[in-house]
Amino acid sequence: MGLSADIEKDVNQALAEDMGTGDLTANLVPADEIATATVVSRENAILCGIEWFEACFWQLDRQTEVRWFSQDGAAIGAGQALCEITGNARALLSAERSALNFLQLLSAVATQTRRHVDAVAGTGASIVDTRKTLPGLRLAQKYAVRCGGGVNHRLGLYDGILIKENHIIAAGGIEPALRAAEAIAPAGVFTQIEVETLDDLRSALGAGAKLILLDNFDLDRMREAVTLNVRSTSKTAVLEASGGITLDNIRMVAETGVDRISVGSLTKNIKAVDLSMRFSSLHI
């Protein structure tokens, strides 16, 4: 997943939104003043968003130097210095908020993902994201999921087919829906079908479904679904659990034997990691 163009777009939009016609307060600082600042984490987290953070400063001062003490995907602790930045003081002040916003948000997604990944460690189940992302920041958030050890589902409506209840009704049933999807799917595009009952699962397996979403199955039905899948005469499908998944129950869900667990809260219900940036020296 190439990100360079998306990072530039994200950063340009963030700076334009924040600075508008110019940073009035930064004009209190002499135009040629050089400053050094340090970013510190105030809590334990997984670091993510370095490229977005750097790009915010480089857009305003290409001479900005950033020295990192950790990298994306690394565990960081409360009180830990993450990086040191040296550059034009006005540029540092103007870019600070946007840069920290990206780092706080993406680190939060990576941290949330790592918690879920750690919760299912040893079960063989993968943690998968969804399309429940912040508008305009989907690729950034999905990158953060990967930094946290999770797996990306489809990026959008264009790179995967997910057949849900209304698609099945419109197509006239599970098998007709799968056949129609096979006929239109471009090369390399996966097809997944959502089932709500064990009978639906049997129909999907009978029709040769390769990727099946178990929608809001309770634990007993998940276990039975795994058994049905193993006993199926067709090639075993990949089973993904979805709906009502929390950190409190995700281990039990993983232990039913499902292959994947999709969690919307990885990118939707997040609390920014608490970071701060402080000037440590000025060079005139």
Active-site annotation, residues:
97, 132, 164, 194, 215
Q: List Cα–Cα distances, 188 to 58, 131, 238, in angstroms.
A: 37, 20, 17
Q: Which two tokens stand for residue 143?
A: 């990158």
Q: Which of 249, 214, 250 lies closest to 229 in space, CA to CA?
A: 214
Q: Which two tokens stand for residue 218?
A: 């309770």
For 1-42, strand residue ranges (E) read 34-41
Residue 34: what residue type?
A: I
Q: Which of 264, 258, 267, 275 lies closest to 212 in space, CA to CA?
A: 258
DSSP, collapsed to helix, strand or coil, labels residue 14 as: helix
- Residues 112, 145: contact at Cβ < 8 Å? no
- Residues 177, 195: contact at Cβ < 8 Å? no
DSSP, collapsed to helix, strand or coil, labels residue 50 as: helix
Apex 33 CA angle, 29 and 39, nearest 5: 85
Q: Which two tokens stand for residue 25?
A: 């307060």
160-163 sheet: strands from edge to edge: 126-128, 260-262, 238-242, 211-215, 190-195, 160-163
The rounded distance, in Å, linking the Cα atoms of 119 and 191 is: 28
